[in-house]
Amino acid sequence: MFRRKLSALDYHNPAGFNCRDETEFRNFIVWLEDQKIRHYKIEDRGNLRNIHSDEWPKSFEKYMKDVNCPFKIQERQETVDWLLGLAVRLEYGDNADKYKDSTPDGAKNADNTAKNAEPLVNLDVNNPDFKAGVMALANLLQIQRHDDYLVMLKAIRILVQERLTQDAIAKASQSKEGLPVALEKHILGFDTGDAVINEAAQILRLLHIEELRELQTKINEAIVAVQAIIADPKTDHRLGKVGR
């Protein structure tokens, strides 16, 4: 019944609190006054702290009147609930700056889910800092400039996902063993008159072919990245904006 309020107040046993247990109840009232409500000055709390005294019920009844509790001492559950409510209000007042911007967990989860679903929707694309950051990343990653900074950011994201993830870096770092090449099987197409120079020319030609293959691979990757952006149903590349 009181679990949520007790948890909010950091009570040591919110789930097992039993207000019908006289000793536990009296200790709880002392804790509540000492730690949360603090209606009395410290020197005036002696009677309330003396939980083994036969006069304690009278001291507690006086305390209820002093804090303007509307219930009678016999209405224990109602009294406890009211005192907990008072303590929560006072706790909030003491820590207003801490709690004023807090959001319920359910709302936080829903908001996080929405943001994770499309992390680029709520960006202010006209913010100068945003534009500068995107341009710096694009230059660093050698990505083609585009008039729509959001499109550039999506291209950056695709590149990072495909080339800069831990798996991609690990795979790229793996040493590759070259295959033996029989130069005599590759026709040079001309003769320099020197066998050594001919062999060097064959090696240079093979290296150039390998560079062309790597270039073609990068071109293909760029085409795939652009197609992924254009194929996004939320991206209208003609209008230069995202969303309907």
The residue extents of the domains of the chain are: 1-101, 116-174, 185-232
Ramachandran region, residue 148 (left: φ > 0; alpha: ψ -120 to 50; beta: rest): beta
Predicted confidence at residue 128, as pLDDT, reads: 73
29 vs 83: CA distance, rounded Å: 9
Predicted confidence at residue 52, as pLDDT, reads: 93
Predicted confidence at residue 212, as pLDDT, reads: 75
Distance of CA 107 to the CA centre of its chain: 14
pLDDT digits (tens, 9 = 90+) for 116-154: 444 555 566 677 777 777 787 777 777 777 777 777 778
Q: Which pLDDT tens digits describe the chain residue by residue (244 residues)?
A: 788 889 888 888 888 999 999 999 999 999 999 999 999 999 999 999 999 999 999 999 999 999 999 999 899 999 999 999 899 888 876 555 555 555 555 455 545 544 444 455 556 667 777 777 778 777 777 777 777 777 777 877 777 777 766 676 666 666 555 556 565 666 666 677 777 776 777 667 767 777 777 777 777 777 776 766 665 555 554 555 555 4
Predicted confidence at residue 50, as pLDDT, reads: 94
At CA 132, angle to CA 126 and CA 133, rounded to 5? 105
Predicted confidence at residue 2, as pLDDT, reads: 86
Please tell me whether the overall predicted TM-score, pTM, comes out greater than 0.95 for this model.
Answer: no
Write the CB contacts of 99 (distance below 8 Å, at least 6 apart in sequence): 92
Predicted confidence at residue 224, as pLDDT, reads: 72
